[in-house]
Chains A and B, each alone.
Chain A
């Protein structure tokens, strides 16, 4: 099956710093989502980004589908950004979207 790798596995930042999280995938996919899992376990949608670049406030994401990677940029990090960031890719199944998740990047933002 498809492999999804995320790096780095862990990241500690000082508040205000910028960071880049990477997601590599082993095969062609129909689309890609980035999620933030907060300390209470809720998965929050960040981006639906099968290709191109999107921005939402301090976050932006870029997917280069032909090279099979996606990047999530966090600027001016805040303590509320702490949590686990997952990328997930979908393999279209009978019209649906079965998500295969990466192992995540655990981010801690300190004061």
Chain B
């Protein structure tokens, strides 16, 4: 696609429910990233995919958070048993792979605004 797309745009859920957030990266981008933006914490890295594997999951805040990527394209971030502190904007980004000039530039989607009541 022309840009990174994310769905849903907004999600309101009740505490304790599971949610799935979707990211569709720019066509041809092999690297995919999830970030979270919250009032108290700013923009934080969550997880990085290269193809279908996740070499770095260091930013996932707890074991309630998981992510997968299939076919080297679409990724899903799942939050189980949501808590109020999970309320934030979840942003996805994608980039080309490699060390060449500009190949690491990350392009961001519009985000999913999650509100846990």
Q: List chain A residues, Cβ under 8 A from B45.
A: 98-100
Given contacts A41-B111, A42-B110, A103-B42, contact A98 B56 (CB under 8 A): yes
Within 8 A of B (CB), among A11-43: 30-31, 33, 35, 40-43
Chain A contacts to B: CB under 8 angstroms: 30-31, 33, 35, 40-43, 45, 48, 86, 88, 90, 92-101, 103-104
Smallest CB–CB gap between A108 and chain B, Å? 18
B66 touches A (CB below 8 Å): no
Q: List chain A residues, Cβ under 8 A from B108.
A: 35, 42-43, 45
Given contacts A43-B91, A103-B42, contact A97 B50 (CB under 8 A): no
Complex Cα distance, B91 from A86, in Å, reads 15
Interface centre among B89, B93, B106, by most chain A C-beta atoms within 10 angstroms, is B106
B65 touches A (CB below 8 Å): no
Q: Which residue of B lies closest to A103 (CB)?
A: B42
Smallest CB–CB gap between B16 and chain A, Å? 27
Assess the B31–A97 pair: CB atoms within 8 A.
yes
